[in-house]
Amino acid sequence: MEQLQDGSVALAVTSPPYPMIAMWDGLFASQGARSYDEMHARLDEVWREVARVLVPGGLACVVVGDALRKVDGRFRLFPNHARVMESFLALGLDALPYILWKKPTNKPNAFLGSGFLPPNAYVTLDCEFILIFRKGALRKFPRLDETRTRSVYTKAERDVWFSQVWEVKGSKQARGEGARRSAAFPPEVPRRLISMFSVEGDLVLDPFVGTGTTLAEAARLKRDALGFEVDEGLRGEIERCVEGAGASCSFERADGPNG
């Protein structure tokens, strides 16, 4: 993210590819990462840049799920949320109370394993984590700052948004033109986070743009936004998403060591 200056971003809202989820294996492999630790090492490079570009008091919100996978004949949980949290703490950011995003399902009796016979069944993963981190002390604003006043949310919104469990229906996976699948999250998730943790006119960053949901919701909420995406096949979807929010969209090639 060499294009971004230190301390230039008020809020980062993103959902990275999840390590040890089969649909992302090819992407990580193309970056030279095949094991759990190697995959997170690639994500760590992004988290370091996010920490660098955040303003003092800026926040990062990372939507991530754990993974279930059989490795060497053994069924295991890979705790992605814990690994991401460790990474941000090592960078000096403070962890704030996280949100559990519970996805409503039409299969309330779903299970994994041996049916009704104990002890070899497994709990179904139906929650993802929305991890929240702050860079340093509380962000400072002038007294009676107009941008904060215009960005106010209602009591009803506050009571729902600042509870620890959210029930928001997930979005279907999207596919770009000749591209890998993109596990888009529903607009309601970034809409809430952007409303909670930024003010009008702030710059919002998504380092894993996907189909552009975060950028579009930032535009609807009168924030500026930018992001990075390695899959050029999603360009058309990003453009449609952002322009559907009534905003203009431009693209630049970020030619880093990995393109």
10-15: average pLDDT: 98
62-70: average pLDDT: 96
Confidence check: pLDDT of 106 > 80:
no
100-104: average pLDDT: 89
Q: What is the pLDDT of residues 24-36, one digit of tens each?
A: 999 999 999 999 9
Residue-level pLDDT at 25: 96
Residue 54 belongs to a domain? yes
Supply 186's token pair: 């529903």
Residue 4 belongs to a domain? no
Q: What is the pLDDT of the chain when averaged over all its residues?
A: 90
Residue-level pLDDT at 259: 39
Residue 249 belongs to a domain? no
175-199: average pLDDT: 77
Residue numbers of the domain that contains 178:
9-244
Instruction: Give the number of other CB atoms < 10 A from CB of residue 140.
Output: 9
- DSSP labels, the chain: -TTSPTT-EEEEEE-PPPTT-GGGHHHHHHTT--SHHHHHHHHHHHHHHHHHHEEEEEEEEEEE--EEEEETTEEEEE-HHHHHHHHHHHTTPEEEEEEEEEPP-S-TT--BSSTTSTTS-B----EEEEEEEE-SSPPP--TT-HHHHHT---HHHHHHHTSSEEE-PPPPPEE-TT--EE-PPPTHHHHHHHHHH--TT-EEEESS-TTSHHHHHHHHTT-EEEE--S-GGGHHHHHHHHHHTT----------TT-
Confidence check: pLDDT of 97 > 70:
yes
Under the banding of pLDDT at 50, 70 and 90, the label for residue 104 is: confident
Residue 93 belongs to a domain? yes
Task: Identify whether the C-beta of residue 130 lies closer than 8 Å to the C-beta of residue 94.
Answer: no
Confidence check: pLDDT of 182 > 70:
no
Residue with more model confidence, 257 or 239: 239
Residue-level pLDDT at 177: 44
Residue-level pLDDT at 258: 43
> What phi, psi does 87 have (nearest 5°)?
-65, -45
Residue 253 belongs to a domain? no
Residue 255 belongs to a domain? no
Task: Give the range among 163-172, 178-187, 214-223, 231-240 with minimum mean pLDDT.
Answer: 178-187
> What phi, psi does 106 have (nearest 5°)?
-90, 5
Q: What total number of domains does the chain contain?
A: 1
Task: Identify whether the C-beta of residue 11 lies closer than 8 Å to the C-beta of residue 61.
Answer: yes
CATH number of the domain that residue 151 is part of: 3.40.50.150
Residue 156 belongs to a domain? yes
Residue 95 belongs to a domain? yes
With pLDDT > 70 as the criterion, what percentage of the chain qualifies?
88
Confidence check: pLDDT of 179 > 90:
no
Residue-level pLDDT at 248: 86
Q: Which residues of 95-111 are buried (b: 16+ CB within 10 A; e: fewer)?
A: eeebbebebeeeeeeee
Residue-level pLDDT at 257: 45
92-120: average pLDDT: 80
How many alpha carbons fall within 13 Å on the CB side of residue 237? 23
Under the banding of pLDDT at 50, 70 and 90, the label for residue 169 is: confident
